[in-house]
Amino acid sequence: MENLRQTDQVIRGWLKEIRKDVLGELHDPLSVAEKSSRKDLVTNVDKANEKKIIKYIRELDPEAKILGEEGQGDRVTDMQGHVWIIDPLDGTLNFVKQRDNFAVMIALYIDGTGVLGYIMDVMRDIIYGGGPQLGVFNQSGQLPKPANISLKDGLLGVSGPMLIHDKYHLQAIDEASSGVRIIGSAGIEFIQVLTGKQNGYISHLMPWDFAAGKILAETLDLSVTKVDGTPVDMLSSNDVLVSTRDTHKDILNMIR
Ligand code: 2AM
Ligand code: CA
Ligand code: CA
Ligand code: CA
């Protein structure tokens, strides 16, 4: 692998190619299969994207381990060395039902430390990417750190099922915020927090759902932990809270 800035450009190039592929499929009939339930879907596009991203990574970084949602990568059991974590299509249900509000995400961790993360909002044609050594950029320039707003002064993104089941007193937490938003794509939700449009997001997520967002959020001084405030585990599912620091304190105070 070349230096980070070159690698950043290479990854943005991959994502642009993936975007062209996805747009090419947008009006064709999808092949859709159910995974765990009728709300948990996989399409031919999820699988094709994953296959292509894995091919790109193997060419760039042949020794690396790759964890991908659709299972065409490696069986990753530890975070030693180079570990790429990819979500080839995030918000598959939105993709199928809306053809909007879905993302493609790529993250690189080295010995457990987040180095590069990318979230592409496909329909808006924006790639948010970078890492602690580069900052966070999209095509318009560098993202500023979002204002450190408290829970009551901003909009909170949540997972629908967690809100319905009132996990962690989420209904009271939402009541204490300015309002709730449910987008249905972890990647797009992370973008809302990175850009200061929402002051937080709470959801039950798999590593590929938050791996890229965590790197970008932490680069912008946002907090990313489990909902109980403990560190997230990069190799299992977590109830994740990403938020401004003040909102993080507010939410932890309400949960404890
Ligand atoms: P996915 O579309 O890549 O599966 C939906 O609220 C968000 O949570 C999406 O980002 C979705 O990612 C993710 N998610 C994680 N686990 C899920 C599950 N079992 N069923 C549906 N969405 C899931
Ligand atoms: Ca999925
Ligand atoms: Ca996902
Ligand atoms: Ca996915």
What ipTM, to 2 d.p.? 0.96
Residue set of the binding site for Mg(2+): 69, 87, 89-90, 209
- Residue minimizing CA distance to atom 21 of ligand 1: 40
* Pick among 2.60.40.1220, 1.10.10.60, 3.30.540.10, 3.30.565.10: CATH of 4-142: 3.30.540.10
Assess whether pLDDT exceeds 70 at residue 1: no
Q: 88 CB less than 6 Å from ligand 1?
A: no
Predicted confidence at residue 256, as pLDDT, reads 85
Q: How many A from CA of 143 to the centre of ligand 1? A: 26
Which CATH architecture group holds 151-255? 3-Layer(aba) Sandwich (3.40)
Rounded to the nearest 10°, the torsion over CA 226, 229, 235, 240 is 20
For residue 149, the CA-to-ligand 4 centroid distance in Å is 30
Find the 12 Cα to ligand 4 centroid distance in Å.
Answer: 19
44: exposed, middle or buried (Cβ count in 10 Å: 0-12, 13-18, 19+): middle
* pLDDT of the residue at 226: 98
- pLDDT, one tens digit per residue, over 165-203 is 999 999 999 999 999 999 999 999 999 999 999 999 999
pLDDT digits 0-9 by tens, 102-136:
999 999 999 999 999 999 999 999 999 999 999 99
Predicted structure pTM score: 0.98
